[in-house]
Amino acid sequence: MDLHGLNWLLSPWALGVLGLCIGSFLNVVVHRKPQRLEREWLGDAAGYLQDDGAMARVLPASTPARRTELARQGLALQTELEALPELTLSKPRSRCPACGHAIAWHENIPLVSWLLLLRGKCSACGTRISARYPAVEALTGLLFAAAAVHAGPTPAALVYCAAIALLVAAAFIDLDTTLLPDDLTLPLAGLGLVAAWQRWIPVSLADAALGLFFGYFSLWFVAASYKLLRGRQGMAEGDFKLLAGLGALLGWQALPAIILLSSVVGAAVGLFMIAFRGHGREVPIPFGPYLAGGGVAALFFGAQLATLWPAP
């Protein structure tokens, strides 16, 4: 990839501004993608409830009357879902959840609108707008700028910015819903493999492939062992895919640092929430945000972190 003459577009300032704009879009992704997925899943469930053959196979002891009732409930659910307004990443326009006021373009300028124009409140009804919206924008902008500093005006800067966008969206979706959509984790893995193949990043294709393999199966093994010992699921497959994507992007050598950082921070936060916030021990704590944070740390400080243990 020849980027000669485009150095100014890959400067920290330019990528930082781009990151602010991408962060604004990621707020929409974080809010709407889980809803779209859950609508699809409920639609699938409604279809299965109306499938008499499937119900008979799954529930062989059920009576025709019971299956008819299930089909009626499935049809009612399908009708409710079809009555919902269209929901995509672009439709409907962003609105205030309290009064329905459509957000005007000048009210949607990253950081500036929230801080200076709206001052954290809806312009129509005065309802407070969460500070997380500008925080996501600022975080994404800062990380994009940091990628520009770290990689310089090279293709790697663009690769890392794309990866950061996927990681930010995945982390906040997991934090809100304990979901890690394949639409975010699988593209991260593909991005790492393609970037390594094209030599856009300082990771060989072999190291990227091994990172993907060991990233997935290391957590799979931990989760399988936990389920065998405790009889319940301790980690979801989305976490395996997220670590696999990070392994593909950063190489297998980065996996120990990512796992160590995410586990230590995750355990500390979990203990704090249980001890001081009354968080139930049986209530799952999403691990995706810690994996994403560990991946970002490994991206920027991988060489320093590698010195924490001897080389194999």
Inside any domain, residue 281: yes
Contact of 257 with 306, CB cutoff 8 Å: yes
Q: What is the DSSP letter of 34?
A: H
**Average confidence score pLDDT of the chain:** 89
Report pLDDT for 92.
85
Residues 152-189 pLDDT 10s: 999 999 999 999 999 999 999 999 999 999 999 999 99
Contact of 301 with 146, CB cutoff 8 Å: no
Cα distances from 2 to residues 11, 95, 173, 299, in angstroms, run 16, 41, 35, 23
Report pLDDT for 6.
67
Report pLDDT for 310.
55
Inside any domain, residue 19: no
Report pLDDT for 108.
84
Name residue, tokens 């639609």.
43
Residues 16-61 pLDDT 10s: 999 999 999 999 999 999 999 999 999 999 999 999 999 999 999 9
Secondary structure (3-state) at 197: helix
Q: What is the DSSP letter of 153?
A: S
Report pLDDT for 115.
86
- What is the total count of domains within the chain? 1
Inside any domain, residue 116: no
Report pLDDT for 51.
95
Inside any domain, residue 45: no
Residues 88-125 pLDDT 10s: 988 888 888 778 778 887 878 888 888 887 788 888 88
Range of the domain at 203: 178-302
